[in-house]
Chain A
Amino acid sequence: MRLLQYVAKRLLQLIPVLLGVSVIIFTISHVLPGNPVYLFVGIDTTPEEIEAITKRLGLDKPLHEQYFIWLGNVLRGDLGDSWFTSESVAQDLMRRFPATFELTTVALLAAILLGVPLGVLSAVYRNSWIDNISRGVTLLGVSVPSFWLGLLLIYVLFFLLRIFPPPSGRIGLLISPPDRITGLYLIDSLLTGNWKAFSSSAQHLALPVMTQALVTLAPITRLVRSSMLEVLGSEYIQAARANGVPDRQIYFRDALRNALLAPLTFVALVYGNLLGGSVVIERIFAWPGIGRYALESIVVKDYNAVQGFVLLAAVLYVLVFLVVDILYFVIDPRITA
């Protein structure tokens, strides 16, 4: 009941945030120098024709009126057409987003599943061999840029050792993707029992996931370690020990829950960022996600597409933080509605 109330309140709070986001996106794209009409016309177009096109695009109306027309369209799911792919931007994004979502989510889960235990172990066995190994791995993850790591993994694991397939996108070139249900190849192929597609897409995911996960894992591990050390030194852990609580329970029940509070915000930040697409990784692995789409749209000045992408990225960011806020509310009783 308390939770429902909180969720409802947070959802209501989203409305002004998203309206603000829409105003900013709209304003920025409309005060940018350059007249989009010129993208449609040739050198011999007469001023009358230009005026006609301006009128047809609604660009002669006052700015606020244009905003409301645009907002109305957005609310109906119409983000305009891409001038480059000449398809609806909404459809373009919907087609590409699952690729980004799948890569990012699997990579983040891997980073959490490895990083949290590694952080806990490095804190519990501080300055032991395991702490030193984790320090090495995280140092590598923090200091090595992802494009270099990605290329290195491709070189070693594909080119030299032939363990993983070439960086040719989400699935083998000769294998047809599973029937679209969610757009996530792993899920769709499982649902349709298409094992060939499942194994191929899992193999294609491996390298980009490794690249992304290692880069994300490093700060998670360090954060969990320092947060865990702080909690382990706290009075209530000393008190639990004095009451005879065994070490294992101290670490995984009393301490861990407290120690995860701080890294949770960081994870949200990273996830929110990555859902907007990782341009570098998507490019290196020919991954058809929204990061690449955004980059290509920017290069060809495809305003509608860029606008749509920024809007999607902002909404995703806000949603991730909504989920994290709800998680905090569930975990930490000190947070009140």
Chain B
Amino acid sequence: MLEAPRPDTLLDVRGLHTYFYTYEGIVRAVNSVSYRLNRGEITGLVGESGSGKSVTAQSIIQLVKAPGKIVSGEVWLDGEDLMSLSHAEMQEVRGRKISMIFQEPRAALNPLFTVGDQISRVIQLRENCSRNVAENHAIEMMRAVEIADPERRAGAYSHELSGGMCQRVMVAMALSANPLLLIADEPTTGLDVTVQAQVLDLIRTRVRSAGSACLFITHDLGVVAELCERVIVMYAGRVVEQGPVAEIFTNPRHPYTQGLIASTLRVDIDKPISTIPGTVPDAVHLPSGCTFHPRCPFAEELCRHEEPSMVEAGHDHSTRCHIVSGRIEKEMLEEAWELEAA
């Protein structure tokens, strides 16, 4: 059941399915995923490795690597369905309306071209301007992301720069487009903590001031709490819970979200870290019913057979759980996690 998009909605993903056709079978990496991103907001997309976060992002810009294929779904960006665009039209969207920042900044830069060259080429392609103008613009962008001495750094190759510096270059390249949507795929994973904070700050300032939206993929809930307005939790290719950060962190409804939050290290409470038992299920042979049921301390017979649908769990907060929907009458007690861990 989809409501009409609200006016501040920038990206509206509806019923996205992306499957990988492997020898072992079909991997449903993104399985009926729907969510919306609002202008001026940063939305965190969290989940364990293999939950389908990155493939969701790749599906939005239609750069899913083989043997992956977008099977169905709609991706509305600013009132336009990207799925209906041709290959060439989509190329125009990438690097203009949507930009992306990657997990490994050094790997994301071509080793044989200077970073200034790479930024100015993207600018030149987009603006159709002269080489000189593009180069100046590139240096401006590098200055904007606080790269010291940008004139000199523009002539450097990726191997000559630190990881943090490379990520700034990627951010400069991505933001030079003034994109409507910025997708950041774990952009701070490989960076020092201090550099991490600087890069996050950079993304936040630019997104807020430009009124664009940002999809921030991470498995770090601390970063989400600090940076994002909304959060989407994915598990085994499905969105299991989404809502405002404040709401989700204080009142997580899905057992998986509860487990994730309970398993983050907190210095203010003297409590052992609990873990979610088990691992992410084998992507080819997903469990029946609710895919989380083998790891869920509250699972009942119904969870093994019937997949729960998305239900309202509060204002602008929805989740996929039989207990929340009331199909199962049960109290979700926090102690269950500790029992499970012990």
CA distance A254 to B111 in the complex (A): 10
The 7 closest A-B pairs by CB, nearest first: A244-B95, A235-B107, A239-B108, A243-B95, A242-B100, A244-B94, A333-B157
CA distance A259 to B110 in the complex (A): 12
Say which residue of A243, A247, A333 sits within 8 Å of B173 (CB atoms).
Answer: A243
Q: Are A334 and B108 in contact (CB under 8 A)?
A: no
The interface-forming segment of B78-86, B118-126, B214-222 is B118-126
8 contacts between A and B (CB under 8 A): A235-B102, A238-B65, A239-B170, A242-B102, A243-B177, A244-B96, A246-B125, A258-B110
Say which residue of B63, B112, B160, B174 sits within 8 Å of A241 (CB atoms).
Answer: B63
Chain B interfacial residues counted at CB < 8 A: 33
**Please, which residues of chain B bring their CB within 8 A of the CB of A331?**
112
1/0 contact string of A79-112 vs chain B (CB within 8 Å): 0000000000000000000000000000000000
Q: Which residue of A lies closest to B126 (CB)?
A: A244
Q: Are B122 and A334 in contact (CB under 8 A)?
A: no
Q: Which residue of A lies closest to B88 (CB)?
A: A246
Q: Which residue of A lies closest to B110 (CB)?
A: A236
Q: Are A240 and B63 in contact (CB under 8 A)?
A: no
Q: Which residue of A lies closest to B104 (CB)?
A: A235
Say which residue of A238, A254, A333 sits within 8 Å of B102 (CB atoms).
Answer: A238
Q: Does B159 have its Cβ within 8 Å of any Cβ on chain A? A: yes
Q: Are A244 and B91 in contact (CB under 8 A)?
A: yes
CA distance A94 to B113 in the complex (A): 42
Given A242-B98, A244-B91, output 6 extra A-B contacts at Cβ < 8 Å.
A235-B102, A239-B170, A243-B99, A254-B110, A333-B111, A333-B159
CA distance A243 to B126 in the complex (A): 9
Q: Does B75 have its Cβ within 8 Å of any Cβ on chain A? A: no
Q: A233-B65, A334-B157 are in contact. Are A242 and B95 (CB under 8 A)?
A: yes
Chain A binding site: helix, strand, loop or mixed by DSSP?
helix
Q: Does A323 have its Cβ within 8 Å of any Cβ on chain B? A: no
1/0 contact string of B110-142 vs chain A (CB within 8 Å): 111110000001100110000000000000000
**Please, which residues of chain A bring their CB within 8 A of the CB of B174?**
243
User: Could you say which of A236, A243, A244 has the most chain B C-beta atoms within 10 Å of its C-beta?
Assistant: A243
Q: Does A257 have its Cβ within 8 Å of any Cβ on chain B? A: yes
Q: Are B122 and A245 in contact (CB under 8 A)?
A: yes
Chain A interfacial residues counted at CB < 8 A: 22
Q: Does B165 have its Cβ within 8 Å of any Cβ on chain A? A: no
Q: Are A242 and B61 in contact (CB under 8 A)?
A: yes
Q: Are B121 and A239 in contact (CB under 8 A)?
A: no
CA distance A332 to B110 in the complex (A): 11
1/0 contact string of A300-312 vs chain B (CB within 8 Å): 0000000000000
- Distance to closest chain B CB from A314 (angstroms): 32
1/0 contact string of A198-238 vs chain B (CB within 8 Å): 00000000000000000000000000000000000111101
CA distance A90 to B93 in the complex (A): 66
Q: Are A236 and B122 in contact (CB under 8 A)?
A: no
CA distance A249 to B159 in the complex (A): 22
Q: Does B92 have its Cβ within 8 Å of any Cβ on chain A? A: yes
Q: Are A242 and B107 in contact (CB under 8 A)?
A: no
Q: Are B111 and A258 in contact (CB under 8 A)?
A: yes
- Distance to closest chain A CB from B102 (angstroms): 6
**Please, which residues of chain A bring their CB within 8 A of the CB of B121?**
245
Q: Are B100 and A239 in contact (CB under 8 A)?
A: yes
Q: Does B109 have its Cβ within 8 Å of any Cβ on chain A? A: yes
CA distance A39 to B256 in the complex (A): 91
- Distance to closest chain A CB from B38 (angstroms): 22
Say which residue of B98, B107, B125 sits within 8 Å of A234 (CB atoms).
Answer: B107
**Please, which residues of chain B bring their CB within 8 A of the CB of A236?**
107-111
- Distance to closest chain A CB from B94 (angstroms): 4
**Please, which residues of chain A bring their CB within 8 A of the CB of B61?**
242
Q: Are A246 and B91 in contact (CB under 8 A)?
A: yes
1/0 contact string of B56-81 vs chain A (CB within 8 Å): 00000101010000000000000000
Q: Are B159 and A334 in contact (CB under 8 A)?
A: yes
CA distance A107 to B212 in the complex (A): 56
Q: Which residue of A lies closest to B158 (CB)?
A: A236
**Please, which residues of chain A bring their CB within 8 A of the CB of B173?**
243
- Distance to closest chain B CB from A251 (angstroms): 13
- Distance to closest chain B CB from A284 (angstroms): 41
- Distance to closest chain B CB from A229 (angstroms): 11
**Please, which residues of chain A bring their CB within 8 A of the CB of B177?**
243-244
